[in-house]
Amino acid sequence: MGRPLRIEYPGALYHLTSRGNERRKIFRDDSDKVKFLEILEEYHDRFGILLHGYVLMDNHYHLIMETPQGNLLKVMHGINSRYTGYFNRKYKRSGHLFQGRYKGILVEKEAYLHKLSKYVHLNPVRAGMVEWPEMYPWSSYPGFIRKSKAIKWVEYAGILSTISPDIVVARREYKKFVKEGLNEKQESPVQELCGQIILGGEKFVEKIKSMLNMETISQEIVERKSLGKCPSAEAILESVASAFDVKKESLKEKALKKTTARKMAIYLMKRHTGLGNAEIGEIFGGLHYSAVSKVASRFESATAGDTKLSTLAKTVISNVKT
């Protein structure tokens, strides 16, 4: 198995996950979760990381971490190694605790931090562990909505300050924002990745790609080829227009909002370009970002029951990538 590409630079923001080997529990009781949080706090103090959010599930964890010093590798190796040592000593075991290397997704902070935070904090609800996110104690969410639950080393201001300068209003609006997700189909942010490792708009993706000297990245790294093949919005529009024998510009017109071609273009753009919903909405005549998500979700459901439509969508995107 190839090793994953790690992109490090000062100020980078990541969505980090690590699962138990063979999906086994990495936290057997509450004291294990307490220990893991103690390790997070220690690494926050030692290496200057900023934790914008976290959730500890039984067999995996989610972290939203910013690295002002560009030291992701050192931090994550230390956290997982320290916790594995603790776990093995406590339960008199040996060997790997985590399933391979942790997964790290580089995130465009301005466009995706809020959305990612909502997704992470709703994990316990989606898993059926609690009815409301504030009921789950092993999450940073309670500290976002209640001052009394705040932890000193969690960076709540990174999100709350962008909602309102009034902290009371910001907490109330953030709670409303997250709970809106309970009535929405919550897609994993992974579905919007470029090259399996970047979550961001087209400009952000191009910026990151320009930072990398692709010639010096080892062939062993699994995302190397896919990173260089993130299709553009225009390329997808051209491919869809060709497949349906329509003009590319017509796909952007609101008058044709119910056409299969337009829906396919929105779906493929959301899934393969790395653009955010708002950016895609602008391309399609000012379509609201929530409508973009709904159109893409419905089209995906339609392809599940229509082999011909599914095959056509795969052909269209394949033509873009060749």
Q: Sign of the C-alpha dihedral, residues 275, 302, 116, 60? A: negative
Q: Which of the two residues, 13 and 181, has the higher pLDDT score?
A: 13
Q: How far is CA 288 from CA 95, 119, 155, 275, 283, in A?
A: 50, 20, 30, 14, 11
Q: How far apart are CA 65 and CA 155, in angstroms?
A: 9
Nearest to 199 by CA among 291, 114, 111, 121: 111
Higher pLDDT pick, 305 / 151 = 151
Please tell me the predicted confidence (pLDDT) of residue 232.
78
Number of helices and strands (H, E) in the chain? 14, 5
pTM for this structure? 0.69
CB neighbours of 112 closer than 8 A, spacing ≥ 6? Answer: 189, 199, 200, 276
- Is the model more confident about 77 or about 319? 77
Query: Which distant-in-sequence residues (6+ apart) come within 8 Å of 243 by Cβ?
Result: 261, 312, 315, 316, 319
pLDDT value of residue 14: 95
Contact 64, 15 (CB under 8 A): yes
Greater pLDDT, 1 or 271: 271
At residue 4, the pLDDT reads 54
Produce one character per residue of 213-242: b if its CB has 16 or more CB atoms within 10 Å, e if not: eeeeeeeeebbbeebeebbbbebbbbbbbe
- How many angstroms separate the Cα of 297 from the Cα of each of 189, 267, 283, 294, 302? 13, 8, 18, 5, 9
Distance CA 278, CA 177 (A): 16
**pLDDT tens digits, one per residue of 101-158:** 888 899 999 889 999 999 999 999 999 999 999 999 999 999 999 999 999 999 999 9
State the pLDDT confidence band at 5, using cuts at 50, 70 and 90.
low
The domains of the chain are located at 12-191, 231-321
The larger pLDDT score, comparing residue 184 to residue 91, is at 91
Q: Which CATH number fits domain 12-191: 3.30.70.1290, 3.40.50.720, 3.30.450.20, 3.40.50.300?
A: 3.30.70.1290
Going by DSSP bridges, is the β-strand pair 50-56/60-67 parallel, antiparallel, or unpaired? antiparallel
Percent of the chain with pLDDT over 70: 85
The reported pLDDT for the residue numbered 223 is 46
Average pLDDT, stretch 9-32? 93
Q: Which residue has the tokens 């090793």?
A: 3
Measure the CA–CA gap between 33 and 59, rounded to whole angstroms: 11
Residue 205 has pLDDT above 90, yes or no: no
Cα angle 145, 150, 151; round to 5: 150
Over the stretch 222-267, which tens digit does the pLDDT of each residue have?
A: 444 445 556 778 889 999 999 999 988 888 886 655 689 999 999 8
Task: Give all strands (DSSP E) within 90-240, no chain letters.
Answer: 103-107, 198-199
* Domain 231-321 class in CATH: mainly alpha
